[in-house]
């Protein structure tokens, strides 16, 4: 169902792109704009992972630098049937994480020092399983395709200022041009956000399967949301276009589950995971990860934080 919904949203964005292109320049203008946007996003697809990791000052670690964190990812990778990704740590007190890379063979997972310091071992496993689910689902590819089409729509909207008013395919003239310039990028952004939220729900379910206990991820989401509200992520605030990559919205004031949110409402996600835990499934035996398990690792003294 999630892939079906994603397909419908991608088809809707593609249809919007084709309609705008035809209104502005007919088939020829549409094709030229699409090729330019495709080239721009292809470059971003091959290089965006390195750029984002540099943006957040992420450093690659191995079993020597972070043995428990690295071993957790290794164990989850085996359960997920994936190649081992590169493992990174970001020096940031906000508990958060993301995955990047164009495919499972070129993937990377990154966690903040805040996440490794304040969450229990089980909760960390739930979070990293969610990120590996993104890798397994090839969500980076899906979001890159989405960005390509959204970029093409925005480019066509900019072209509207120069060519739209005189196009014979635009019966509304200058009024239609203004509407295209304003509404087209907004519509594309809304669809892009809807796809992002759909993929988050899918990664929650996949992460629950990979780690073996949906409640580990549910507990982690609740604690991370409190942390994100209490602790600034200055890099994310300076680069809000990357907010959709994180498991929890790193920007303050972004918890509403509406058209303008890149993430589903955390309470809704937690509810789904708790319902999943209560149903029959391939979950490991055991209760939820304890709020304070006393887990100690090379990244900090245990799962306690200033936000509860």
- Does residue 220 form part of some domain? yes
Q: Per-residue pLDDT averaged across 201-228, rounded?
A: 95
pLDDT over threshold 50, residue 286: no
Q: Considering its fold, how many domains does the chain have in total?
A: 1
- Does residue 178 form part of some domain? no
Structure tokens, 63: 């079993």
Bridge partners of residue 59, in order along the sequence: 89
Three-state secondary structure call for residue 138: coil
Q: How confident is the model at residue 302 (pLDDT cuts 50, 70, 90)?
A: very low
DSSP 8-state symbol, 288: P
- Does residue 27 form part of some domain? no
Three-state secondary structure call for residue 59: strand
For residues 128 and 38, the model is more confident at 128
pLDDT over threshold 60, residue 305: no
Bridge partners of residue 60, in order along the sequence: 88
For residues 306 and 107, the model is more confident at 107
Q: Interhelix angle for 121-136 vs 173-211, to 10°? A: 130
- Does residue 106 form part of some domain? yes
- Residue 285: predicted pLDDT: 42
- Does residue 65 form part of some domain? yes
The domain that holds 234 is classified in CATH as 3.30.2010.10
Bridge partners of residue 97, in order along the sequence: 111
- Does residue 2 form part of some domain? no
Distance separating alpha carbons of residues 224 and 221, to the nearest angstrom: 5
**Residue with structure tokens 């689902």?**
137
8 A C-beta contact, residue 277 and residue 286:
no
The reply to whether the predicted model has a pTM over 0.95 is no
Q: How confident is the model at residue 34 (pLDDT cuts 50, 70, 90)?
A: confident
For residues 167 and 109, the model is more confident at 109
Lowest mean pLDDT among 122-131, 231-240, 269-278: 231-240
- Does residue 253 form part of some domain? yes
- Residue 179: predicted pLDDT: 66
Answer yes or no: 131 catalytic: yes
8 A C-beta contact, residue 197 and residue 263:
yes
Burial 196-208 (b: 16+ CB within 10 A, else e): bbbbbbbbbbbbb
Say what the alpha-carbon torsion angle 93, 97, 100, 104 is, to the nearest 10 degrees: 140
- Residue 172: predicted pLDDT: 52
8 A C-beta contact, residue 176 and residue 23:
yes
Determine which one of 122, 123, 131, 225 is catalytic.
Answer: 131
Write out the residue range of the structural domain in which residue 224 sits. 47-152+189-278
DSSP 8-state symbol, 168: T
Q: How confident is the model at residue 135 (pLDDT cuts 50, 70, 90)?
A: very high
* 77: Cα within 13 Å, side-chain hemisphere: 17
- Residue 298: predicted pLDDT: 35
8 A C-beta contact, residue 300 and residue 113:
yes
For residues 254 and 118, the model is more confident at 118
pLDDT over threshold 90, residue 197: no
- Does residue 175 form part of some domain? no
Structure tokens, 153: 């729509």
Bridge partners of residue 87, in order along the sequence: 109
Share of the chain above pLDDT 70, in %: 70
8 A C-beta contact, residue 228 and residue 250:
yes
Residue-wise DSSP of 62-107: -TTTSHHHHHHHHHHHHHHT-PPPEEEEE--SS--EEEE-SSGGG-
Length, in residues, of the chain:
308
- Residue 270: predicted pLDDT: 96
């Amino acid at each position: 169902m999630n892939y079906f919904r994603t397909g419908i949203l991608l088809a809707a964005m593609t249809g919007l792109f084709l309609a705008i292109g035809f209104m502005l320049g007919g088939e020829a203008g549409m094709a030229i704009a699409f090729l330019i946007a495709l080239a721009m996003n292809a470059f971003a697809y091959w290089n965006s992972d390195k750029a984002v990791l540099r943006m957040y000052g992420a450093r690659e670690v191995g079993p020597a630098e972070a043995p428990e964190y690295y071993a957790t990812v290794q164990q989850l990778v085996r359960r997920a049937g994936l190649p081992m990704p590169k493992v990174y740590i970001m020096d940031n007190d906000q508990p958060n994480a993301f995955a990047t890379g164009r495919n499972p063979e070129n993937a990377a997972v990154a966690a903040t020092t805040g996440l490794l310091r304040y969450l229990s071992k089980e909760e960390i496993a739930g979070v990293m399983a969610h990120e590996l689910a993104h890798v397994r689902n090839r969500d980076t590819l899906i979001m890159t395709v989405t960005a390509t089409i959204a970029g093409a729509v925005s480019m066509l909207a900019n072209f509207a200022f120069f060519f739209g008013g005189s196009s014979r395919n635009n019966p509304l003239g200058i009024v239609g041009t203004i509407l295209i310039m304003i509404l087209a990028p907004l519509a594309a952004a809304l669809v892009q956000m809807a796809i992002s939220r759909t993929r988050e729900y899918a990664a929650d379910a996949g992460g629950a399967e990979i780690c073996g206990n949906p409640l580990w991820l549910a507990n982690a989401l609740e604690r991370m949301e409190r942390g994100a509200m209490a602790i600034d992520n200055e890099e994310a605030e300076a680069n809000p276009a990357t907010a959709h990559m994180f498991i929890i919205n790193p920007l303050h004031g972004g918890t509403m589950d509406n058209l303008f949110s890149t993430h589903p409402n955390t309470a809704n996600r937690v509810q789904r995971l708790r319902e999943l835990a209560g149903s029959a499934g391939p979950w490991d035996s055991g209760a939820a990860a304890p709020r304070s398990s006393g887990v100690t690792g090379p990244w900090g003294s245990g799962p306690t934080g200033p936000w509860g």
